[in-house]
Amino acid sequence: MQPSHHFERLLNVHALYAPRDFVAIDDTPMCLEIGAGKGKHALIFAENHPDTTLYAIERTQEKYQAFIKLATQKSLPNLHAIHADAIAWTAFAVYPKQIQTCFILYPNPESKNKNQRFLNMPFFELLLSKMADDGQIVLASNIAEYVSEAQQLLDSVWRLPYTKRYIPSSSARTHFEIKYLARGETCQELIITKPAQYSTRFDTLLPLSLERT
């Protein structure tokens, strides 16, 4: 079947290595946070949604240590703090259509290498294959140019519906959000929906941890 999008480059999943100390997960509905930082949003979300499982991934050791310290104190059974690169972890752990909501809150702007922005990366297609029908990706940024580029890519390349909203100045979901709003910067969020019937070239790919056993 033809993919629903027009993105050509294909992620070479076979070049990926399993994250260190990788632990497989069950194929049950879950939410994912990519680039969780010190975990402020993940902790609030898990507390407010005790029946929802959240995997929150952070690759920087220092931030992850701050996150896991707080997560351990709070002891939330539905929150899983993961120290890994989100690309490899998603490929090894996540089943097709498993993710209900994916949060990407204030990703690095990657001003010098726009190919590293999530919607410019072949990884985005893999992520879409892991999204449930009608699942949503929440992408927030304080950089207007990042958001408008993402909108163009959603319209012309990924062909995905989305809504945009401005983040109120009282919002305080993440450390970066607090910092940007305190500086008077405009923060915006795209809420991207994956329609049922949307297809990618990874739709039948099982977690690599299963493929390689």
Ligand X SMILES: C[S@@+](CC[C@H](N)C(=O)[O-])C[C@H]1O[C@@H](n2cnc3c(N)ncnc32)[C@H](O)[C@@H]1O
Query: How many whole angstroms separate alpha carbon 122 and alpha carbon 131?
Result: 15
159 lines the binding site for ligand X (CB under 6 A): no
Under rule CB under 6 A, how many of the chain's residues touch ligand X? 20
19 is a contact residue toward ligand X (CB under 6 A): no
Residue 177 lies near ligand X (rule: CB under 6 A):
yes
Residue 116 φ then ψ, to 5°: -90, -5
Residue of 76, 86, 102, 190 interacting with ligand X (CB under 6 A):
86
User: Rule CB under 6 A: is residue 65 a binding residue for ligand X?
Assistant: no
Q: How many CB atoms lie within 10 A of CB 159?
A: 15
In the chain, DSSP assigns E strands to: 30-34, 54-58, 79-83, 99-105, 131-141, 162-166, 188-193
| Residue that is written with structure tokens 């915006």 in the block | 188
Q: Is 106 in the site for ligand X (CB under 6 A)?
A: yes
Structure tokens belonging to residue 200: 């990618």
Give the residue with the Cβ less far from ligand X, 5 or 173: 173
Site for ligand X, residues 126 to 145, rule: CB under 6 A: none
User: Which letter, b or e, does each residue of 186-197 get, where b requires 16 or more Cβ atoms within 10 Å of its Cβ?
Assistant: ebbbbebbbeee
Q: Which residue is nearest to ligand X (CB)?
A: 35
Q: Which is nearer to ligand X, 158 or 189 (CB)?
A: 189
Shortest Cβ 79–ligand X spacing (Å): 15
Binding of residue 193 to ligand X (CB under 6 A):
no
Q: Which of 106/124 has CB closer to ligand X? A: 106
Of 31, 46, 56, 57, the residue at the interface with ligand X (CB under 6 A) is 57
CB of 188 to ligand X, least distance (A): 14
Task: Dig out the tokens for 202 from the structure.
Answer: 């990874």
With binding defined as CB under 6 A, does residue 176 bind ligand X?
yes
Contacting ligand X (CB under 6 A), which of 85, 160, 181, 198? Answer: 85
Using rule CB under 6 A, residue 125 touches ligand X: no
- Judged by CB, which is closer to ligand X: 91, or 105? 105
Task: Please give the C-alpha separations between residue 152 and each of 11, 24, 69, 213, in angstroms, as whole numbers.
Answer: 21, 36, 39, 40
**Taking a C-beta distance cutoff of 8 angstroms, is the pair 102, 131 a contact?**
yes
| Rounded-to-10 torsion of CA 119, 123, 128, 132 | -130
Which chain residues interact with ligand X by CB under 6 A?
A: 34-37, 57-60, 63, 85-87, 105-108, 174-177
